[in-house]
């Protein structure tokens, strides 16, 4: 027997219709004004954003932000993201929002290949774009910048997002090409015909230290470094045990951090063993409180 499909709720149908209108509006802005770099394009985005904020409750606006790519999920990605993804991102990055997630499927990051140290000028990984908007998002409680985060962005988050409680800061990864040099008078080796590729992480202990200003942080998702192979991560862009240890020690409300070697974190640098047990038992304590509330 085929499984029964639950019909959409009236709210979900209404949200879908509104999302279609927003998608069409962003398309029209792109067709009329071009890429996000044009001032007329930015002005048009601001006008549409102000209209949505004035017309909709904040919760509905946030749901539209979460739903922004579902309308076009079945379209050819090459056709879809030939449009500038910053148009739709800029539309929903309003100072009043409390929650924001990058597209989990990576659609907004398809035009992300950077050719310099500052990020692509046309894709979802334009670092200037993120820095310009994050400094305005002072009411954020939940932020997911998976595969977008850099130290420069984290410095702004620490200074501008004091209410943050949940954050995903998995590092952006850049590609560095290394061409092997050939010895004069000898044929180059076969491996040197093609350039080597190394991966460069963009989040280090410097960025983690900036998060210490966000005293309400409860959950932190970070890149888990290969501690067993320290040469795989450049020395100037790396997360170390000392950096994670400092983060755990400096965030009083922290309940969870996505680090696979917590034993190594707590084996040194914690003189107060009570602090260690309090951190490890926080999830169980919250579960017990929930059970008591349900029993009452």
Distances (CA, A) of 177 to 121, 144, 192: 20, 29, 12
Q: Which residues pair with 168 in a beta bridge?
A: 144, 221
What pLDDT does 189 receive?
A: 55
Contact by Cβ (8 Å): 193, 183: no
CA dist., res. 159 & res. 210, Å (int)? 8
CA dihedral sign of residues 120, 124, 129, 130: negative
Task: Compute and round to an integer the Cα radius of gyration of the chain.
Answer: 23
Hey, what are 79's tokens? 């056709």
CA dist., res. 110 & res. 103, Å (int)? 11
CA dist., res. 91 & res. 110, Å (int)? 19
Blockwise average pLDDT, block size 10, the chain, 296 residues: 74 91 91 90 96 94 88 52 79 95 70 43 68 94 91 94 94 70 56 61 91 94 61 57 87 84 66 53 51 51
Domain boundaries, the chain: 140-290
CA dist., res. 136 & res. 148, Å (int)? 17
8-state DSSP, 177: E
- Quick one: angle between helices 10-33 and 58-66, nearest 10? 70
Q: In b/e form, how buried is each residue of 178-215, taking b as 16+ CB within 10 angstroms?
A: eeeeeeeeeeeeeeeeeeeeeeebbbbbebbbbbebbe
What pLDDT does 143 receive?
A: 96
């Amino acid at each position: 027997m085929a499984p029964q499909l639950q019909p959409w709720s009236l709210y979900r149908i209404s949200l879908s219709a509104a999302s279609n209108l927003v998608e069409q509006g962003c398309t029209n802005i792109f067709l009329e004004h071009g890429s996000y770099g044009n001032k007329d394009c930015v002005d048009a985005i601001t006008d549409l954003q102000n209209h949505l904020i004035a017309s909709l409750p904040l919760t509905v606006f946030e749901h539209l932000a979460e739903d922004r790519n579902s309308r076009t999920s079945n379209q050819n990605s090459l056709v879809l993201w030939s449009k500038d993804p910053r148009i739709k991102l800029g539309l929903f990055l309003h100072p009043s929002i409390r929650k924001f997630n990058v597209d989990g499927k990576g659609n907004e990051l398809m035009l992300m290949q950077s050719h310099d140290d500052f990020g692509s000028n046309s894709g979802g990984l334009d670092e200037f774009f993120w820095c310009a908007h994050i400094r305005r998002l002072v009411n954020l409680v939940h932020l997911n910048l998976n595969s977008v985060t850099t130290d420069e962005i984290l410095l702004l988050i620490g200074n501008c997002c004091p209410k943050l409680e949940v954050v995903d800061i998995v590092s952006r990864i850049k590609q560095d090409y290394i061409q092997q040099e050939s010895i004069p008078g000898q044929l180059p080796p076969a491996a040197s015909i093609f350039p080597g590729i190394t991966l460069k992480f963009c989040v280090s202990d410097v960025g983690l230290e900036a998060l210490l200003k966000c005293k309400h942080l409860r959950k932190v998702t970070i890149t888990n470094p290969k501690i067993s192979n320290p040469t795989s991560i450049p020395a100037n862009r790396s997360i170390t045990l000392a950096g994670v240890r400092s983060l755990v020690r400096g965030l009083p409300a922290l309940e969870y951090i996505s680090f696979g070697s917590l034993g190594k974190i707590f084996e040194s640098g914690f003189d107060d063993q009570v602090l260690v047990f309090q951190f490890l038992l926080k999830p169980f304590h919250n579960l017990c409180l929930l059970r008591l509330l349900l029993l009452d």
